[in-house]
Amino acid sequence: MGYFKVLLTRFIHSNRNNIFNRSRQKLTNMAEKNDSLSNIITIDGSYLEGGGQILRNSTALSVLLEIPIRVEKIRAGRSQGGLRPQHLTGIQLLSQLSEAKLHNGNIGATEIIFTPRTIKGGNYIADTKTAGSVCLMMQTAIPCLLFANNSSYLRLLGGTNAEFAPEIDYYSMVFQPIARRFNFNFDINLVRRGYYPKGGGEVRITVNPIDQLTAVDLTEFGQIKRFFGRAFVAGTLSKRIAYEMAEAAEKLIHKQYSKDIPIEIQVVKEPDNMAIGTATGIIVGAETTTGCILASSALGKRGVPANDVGTQATEDLLYDLSYQACVDRHLQDQLIILMALAKGHSKIRCGPLSDHTKTAIFVAELLTKVKFKVTEVSSLKTEHDQSNSTTLQASATSASNTSNSTFIVECEGLGYQRRS
């Protein structure tokens, strides 16, 4: 009987210790959590464009600056709010490469808490399992991996040519060469194209770390020296459709510009082993004598004539060129984060600011404390007349009244450096 009493006493004592230890650990975890979130920054995901861009920019800057963030009202401006597969996949990728804690990372979630640690180079795979854009994942991951402790290799799967997102051709033809001017370097290997609704595209990215981004000045337009582009069909569609898109683009360009300016639009029927799905589309771009590169793209849709698709992409490009913009409407917002991080004073010249750009400025100012200046330059003033400098909101309002106004966006960058 005494033996069992001893065992019972030991059991009770052990159980008390276990309960005490578990309670102590729980309190410790709570204290650590409260400490890590003491400087958390809350971001309103419904601001302006109210889409996934706020999420992408804020989580990328969170990783780089090692700032915990809470993003609420995620994609409140969209008909189907909350996290969709491509957004969640992108955030999970950032979580992997920064050893971050992600709270509430679920499809449909309208609020997340993201607490990053250290950026780690290495091999990473991200698969949307949909036709969600691989380029939008690239937008968030590559700036972070530029400042990793060693080289990184990304294997991204999803849609390479998707609606409401930069296409892979835009990324390689426009974003990549302009980004190099910031000392933002990476290599793209397009393994396979993937289209809506199946996706299945694959892109492999190599990123070697740098110490710092450099400031750029993209305010001198120069003269247009060439037009370029790529018209494609994939799957069961006839190559003739691609020719019709290209011909419509060339015809419209010749109405506006001299026939002495070369136009080089590649017409392609995608090989079956290099593309999944049936699709058609075109990208049309222009390069100037000062190194400015602008472009716009359009994807074909059932019932929309091929020449209308070519015309749409070209009209969008010509609209930006009419302002003598050095940065097109699609690139504006993508450069804001680079300008904020770079060392030195960056300036870009563009047409009316998009909501995406205004949103990118809002997030960058909130997290980096860098201040952006937006100056409206009317058609009657030179770029050197700074008397018309306004706030971002006033510039946006004035743009609707002064159709020929251009805008100079500038900031003194943070001078962010890679941590050793």
Which of 246, 282, 59, 68 is CA-nearest to residue 170?
A: 282
CA separation for the pair 281, 269 (Å, rounded): 11
Our answer to whether residue 356 is catalytic in this structure is yes
Q: Helix, strand or coil for residue 90? A: helix
Which residue is catalytic, options 87, 103, 330, 356?
356
Which of 66, 135, 42, 96 is CA-nearest to residue 334?
A: 135
CA-based angle 123:126:132, to the nearest 5? 150
**Token representation of residue 5:** 């009493």
Using alpha carbons, list the distances in angstroms from residue 1 to 4, 5, 6.
5, 6, 9
Q: Helix, strand or coil for residue 252? A: helix
Which of 195, 87, 68, 197 is CA-nearest to residue 140?
A: 87
Exposure b/e, 211-229, CB count within 10 A at least 16 = b: ebbbbbebbebeebeebbb
Using alpha carbons, list the distances in angstroms from residue 130 to 86, 248, 274, 331, 405.
8, 32, 17, 25, 40
Packing angle of the helix pair 85-98, 52-65 (nearest 10 deg): 0
**Token representation of residue 254:** 């010749």
Q: Give the single-character DSSP code of 11.
A: H
State the sign of the Cα–Cα–Cα–Cα dihedral 101, 53, 124, 273.
Answer: positive
Q: Characterize the bridge pairing of strands 275-276 and 279-288.
A: unpaired
If one counts every other C-beta atom within 10 angstroms of the C-beta of residue 264, the result is 11
Q: Helix, strand or coil for residue 254? A: helix
Q: Report the half-sphere exposure of 330 (CA within 13 A, side-chain side).
A: 29
Packing angle of the helix pair 85-98, 134-145 (nearest 10 deg): 20
Residues 6+ apart with CB under 8 A from 247: 307, 310
Active site residues: 356
